[in-house]
Homo-oligomer: A and B are copies of this chain.
């Protein structure tokens, strides 16, 4: 969701005031009536969201991504309190890494350096074994699976989407290639403007089951049915530029299911989750017929998100094996198209690009990210040999709000590591 043009967010309770534990939500047998959070529209927003994003499975049906029977991979610990690393904001005020975590409504954050867990911190109802909704970080997992299948020759990314899913012939994807889907250069009418009652996001969310159905809902019953309604934006051609549209990931997931002949949850388990030695099951939100929300419905524990970040930082090698091909990571890091990205106008991401559903940043440090709109993020800084994973529940779905403190704090930490400011023990 590109909401980076929103400049004046309303005032919200801060990190501490909105702490779901302090709010007393869902505590008691039964909880007091005014402390109950249900899967209804009123509870689907901030501040209730601070509880919900860590308890999605209690609200909706979900599909298991099994961590399998193999051993859990080790995440060696080398603790160092980096919470006081400093950065300077736009007004010239000195802030700390801890300030950044508070400003971004962080629910859980882990910093790894050279594969060691340097720092790990949880807020509110989050804890090490509690999955959190990854939202659009989900896309980077699905994009990686797609890129793996391309690398393995099981998907030809130059082929038409309808070569794999003929049902999409009459949709926006009728004349698109798989590569265009993977890099989101698809011209499709898909609005996420919730103030517009005709915006496609309403039918998307209600058919996918990620939003409670309104009493008068008469849209598509399932995610598949919804995808068949997508039409081309006649003003544009595919491949003109990058347009960030969640539905592209749902289309990619359909292709992946068709090619692998497996549910997305099963393929993700087999191809990544088990190989990297995940410690816990993850899960997808599903629609009424079990279809995974590939655009934003993935939930993981923070430590497993960190494992995947390390897989990516290490060019696919982790847990004693090549979990994913190195070429897939290289393709993400080096083959994004900055010219196609630029017109999207992401003020906080100047010079970035988008490849296989990853956000690719500064070349000089080998920076790339998986990004969720409420602050969820996998951040890799190759040069600093640093991975930062974060779950968050920021009230405002905006890069403009989330990026400045995040980028400044992450950069300060990377510099502290690169320039040896942080004590040797973590180097």
Point out residues on A near B: beta carbons under 8 Å.
26, 29-31, 36, 38-39, 55, 57-64, 66-69, 72, 128-131, 222, 224, 254, 257-258, 279-281, 283, 286, 288-291
Q: Which of chain B's residues have a CB closer than 8 A to the CB of A257?
A: 29
Q: Which of chain B's residues have a CB closer than 8 A to the CB of A254?
A: 29
Contact B69–A289 (Cβ < 8 Å): no
Bound: A280/B39 CA distance, A: 26
Bound: A130/B62 CA distance, A: 13
Q: Which of chain B's residues have a CB closer than 8 A to the CB of A60?
A: 61
Contact B69–A63 (Cβ < 8 Å): no
Partner of A279, one of B39, B69, B290: B69
Could you list 27 A-B pairs, sorted by A, with CB under 8 Å?
A26-B289, A29-B224, A29-B257, A30-B222, A30-B224, A30-B289, A30-B291, A36-B289, A38-B289, A39-B61, A39-B288, A55-B290, A57-B62, A57-B63, A57-B64, A57-B283, A58-B62, A58-B286, A58-B290, A61-B61, A66-B129, A66-B130, A66-B280, A69-B128, A69-B279, A280-B281, A281-B281
Bound: A66/B126 CA distance, A: 13
Contact B30–A69 (Cβ < 8 Å): no
Bound: A67/B281 CA distance, A: 10
Copies in the complex: 2
Contact B129–A68 (Cβ < 8 Å): yes
Bound: A68/B129 CA distance, A: 6
Residue in A55, A131, A222, A280 whose Cβ sees the most chain B Cβ within 10 Å: A280
**Shortest beta-carbon distance from A48 to chain B in Å:** 13
Chain B residue with the shortest CB-CB distance to A71: B72
Residue in A258, A290, A291 whose Cβ sees the most chain B Cβ within 10 Å: A290
Bound: A69/B280 CA distance, A: 9
Partner of A130, one of B36, B64, B258, B290: B64
Chain B residue with the shortest CB-CB distance to A258: B29
Q: Which of chain B's residues have a CB closer than 8 A to the CB of A131?
A: 64
Contact A289–B31 (Cβ < 8 Å): yes
Bound: A222/B29 CA distance, A: 12
List the 4 shortest-distance A-B pairs measured between CB atoms, nearest first. Answer: A29-B257, A66-B129, A30-B224, A58-B290
Q: Which of chain B's residues have a CB closer than 8 A to the CB of A62?
A: 57-58, 62
**Shortest beta-carbon distance from A155 to chain B in Å:** 14
Contact A288–B222 (Cβ < 8 Å): no
Bound: A182/B36 CA distance, A: 29
Other than the known A69-B128, A281-B281, what 6 A-B pairs have Cβ atoms closer than 8 Å?
A29-B224, A29-B254, A29-B258, A30-B222, A67-B280, A69-B279
Contact B58–A58 (Cβ < 8 Å): no
With contacts A29-B257, A30-B291 known, is A57 near B61, CB below 8 A?
yes
Q: Which of chain B's residues have a CB closer than 8 A to the CB of A289?
A: 26, 30-31, 36, 38
**Shortest beta-carbon distance from A73 to chain B in Å:** 13
Contact A290–B57 (Cβ < 8 Å): no
Bound: A175/B174 CA distance, A: 69
Q: Which of chain B's residues have a CB closer than 8 A to the CB of A66?
A: 129-130, 280
Chain B residue with the shortest CB-CB distance to A57: B62
Partner of A38, one of B38, B258, B283, B288: B288
Q: Which of chain B's residues have a CB closer than 8 A to the CB of A281?
A: 280-281
Residue in A60, A62, A222, A279 whose Cβ sees the most chain B Cβ within 10 Å: A62
Bound: A30/B292 CA distance, A: 11
Chain B residue with the shortest CB-CB distance to A288: B38
Q: Which of chain B's residues have a CB closer than 8 A to the CB of A36?
A: 289
